[in-house]
Amino acid sequence: MPSRPSPFGKSRLSEFRLIKTLCRRFGQTGPRVLCGIGDDTAVVRPNAGGSLLLTTDLLAEGIHFRRDTATFEDIGYRAAVANLSDIAAMGGTPQYMLVALAIPPNCTGTNIEQLYKGLMKASRPHGVELVGGDTSASAQGLFITITMTGHAARERVLTRSSARVGDLIFVTGTLGDSLAGLQLLLNDRGAAGVAPRDRIYLVGRHRRPTPRVVEGRILARHGLATAAIDLSDGLSGDLAHVCEQSGVGAEIHTAALPLSSACLAYASAQALDPIDLALQGGEDYELLFTVSPRKQARVERLARRVDCRWSCIGVIRPESFGLRLRRPDGTLRRLQITSYQHFGNQGPSDREAACSH
């Protein structure tokens, strides 16, 4: 079947034509946007009261994504989710997006169209509007930087720095699925012993993660969480951020870590410990949040209203306790912090030294 001609042109990209086409295809905006793509800056009418949230995330080819394990649509989708998830973790409502691209010679207009399709597929359902960006050539590798804004009630933002000793630690959804999905993509032989539907589920969780925007907003609106963070680097590393910034330690109950049946099946087929996948796996984009024990019943009632599970996985301890895992037999072991770090990954991080004993 002949493929549909792309309005982006076949091979040689023209910056001006590209921007025009992006504007026409993806740049529709509502009445709050006085000026979207096309002028020197976007102009929007500010929200009355509340706080303005701003976040940016850069994705570099070869570091954050590879073209052999993700389509351009997947790459766009995940780039949007990284930002949506940051806004979700603050309890905000995402609003506007600017997209800066550095495009290498081996990317076509159709590739960029697919990228924007993914971006909009992830962000439109949350009401996000594309209001601008920047476009450059890249000598090597594709770079995508998204800047997203959001808004929140002034007193209601969820920060990393206010977890208190005795608070319960919750996470949304299930953990480790994205890492299992990535491992399956990188090593197709790993699929031996994994049912096709489990493989599809895990790969889907890697390629199209769900930002927990609704959940973050509910937590903020009801004043339920003392602190929150999104799980982009992996539970161990992101929990360490909350502990360091709140000046506390944490005890995680391994038996309480939420694991999907697909992740359990994958771990069993690969003779891996699923707990390690849950602790180390990045890019699940679930939320971790802390709750005063007085509010546990309310949190559990609200959890029934959203379409993902919320699991209590542990408790905040004093800083001197460090970060530890409680195993089902009652013994404690130190939590290894294994999240990805740029510029070398050797030895314990500063964070680890500060938080773990």
Binding site for ligand ADP (CB under 6 A): 19, 22, 37-40, 99, 101, 132-135
Closest by CA position to 88, among listed 116, 113, 122, 63: 122
15 contributes a contact to Mg ion by CB under 5 A: no
Among residues 135 and 349, whose Cβ is nearest to ligand ADP?
135
Contact code string over 134-153 relative to Mg ion, x by CB under 5 A = x-------------------
Q: Please, what is the minimum distance in Å from the beta carbon of residue 135 to ligand ADP?
A: 4
39 contributes a contact to Mg ion by CB under 5 A: no
Residue nearest to Mg ion (CB): 134
Q: Please, what is the minimum distance in Å from the beta carbon of residue 143 to Mg ion?
A: 14
Q: Please, what is the minimum distance in Å from the beta carbon of residue 107 to ligand ADP?
A: 12
Q: How many residues bind Mg ion (CB under 5 A)?
A: 1
Supply 291's token pair. Answer: 């709750």
Q: Are 146 and 79 in contact (CB under 8 A)?
A: yes
Q: Please, what is the minimum distance in Å from the beta carbon of residue 136 to ligand ADP?
A: 9
| 139 burial type by CB count under 10 A (0-12 exposed, 13-18 middle, 19+ buried) | exposed
Tell me how far apart the alpha carbons of residues 345 and 354 are, in angstroms, rounded to a whole number.
17
Of residues 108-137, which lie at the interface with Mg ion (CB under 5 A)?
Answer: 134
- DSSP annotation of 286: -
Among residues 18 and 175, whose Cβ is nearest to Mg ion?
18
Q: Please, what is the minimum distance in Å from the beta carbon of residue 130 to ligand ADP?
A: 6
- DSSP annotation of 328: T
Among residues 149 and 270, whose Cβ is nearest to ligand ADP?
149
Kindly write down the DSSP assignment for every residue of 197-229, as one continuous string: HHHHHHHHHHHSPPP-HHHHHHHHHTT-EEEEE
Closest by CA position to 26, among listed 17, 36, 41: 36
Q: Return residues touching Mg ion (CB under 5 A).
A: 134
